[in-house]
Amino acid sequence: MLVQYQTWKKASVSTCTDVTPKIFELASIFLHLDVVEIMKESLYDKYVDEHGFVDFGRSGGMSQQKEAKRFLSALNKQSELQQKDCFSISEIYSLADRIGLRVPDIDTFVDNLNSVGYLLKKGPKTYQVLSSSYSRSLSSR
């Protein structure tokens, strides 16, 4: 899209019959300013959260993976401590708050963990931790 925009801007300048070097230079400057503005807008969309705060943690998928690893580690510890492998969604929310989980939407995050097989949805608001050593010890009995 950016390339098409640049092409359009250059074409509109080149259609003038009296294009002097100064006009061409000014048009080129405006083109670059437009590109900078577009880049600022796209960066703003990427790094500003739903509350209007700049959040550089939103920079890519790797931070989401790190958060998943950190959350699953805490959930496995919780599973060991409580000697259970099923948790209600409210317990999951509570754990996410307690560890300061940084994800845009916790429900989507939990759904993704379910989709990739770390959690198994057992009921309307209950999930089983499949990566816990507690759940593995139960299945070997």
- Is pLDDT above 60 for 1? no
Q: What is the DSSP letter of 17?
A: T
Looking at the predicted structure, is the pLDDT value of residue 107 above 80?
yes
Distance CA 79, CA 87 (A): 9
**Bridge partner list, 94:** none
Average pLDDT over residues 64-76: 91
Residue 131 is predicted with a pLDDT of: 79
| Strands of 86-88's sheet in order across | 86-88, 126-129, 119-123
Beta-carbon contacts of residue 102 (< 8 Å; ≥ 6 apart): 57, 63, 67
Q: Report how far apart the first and last C-alpha atoms of the chain are (Å, whole number).
A: 59
pLDDT tens-digit readout, 21-60? 777 676 677 666 666 566 666 655 666 666 666 665 555 5
Instruction: Give the pLDDT of residue 52.
Output: 67
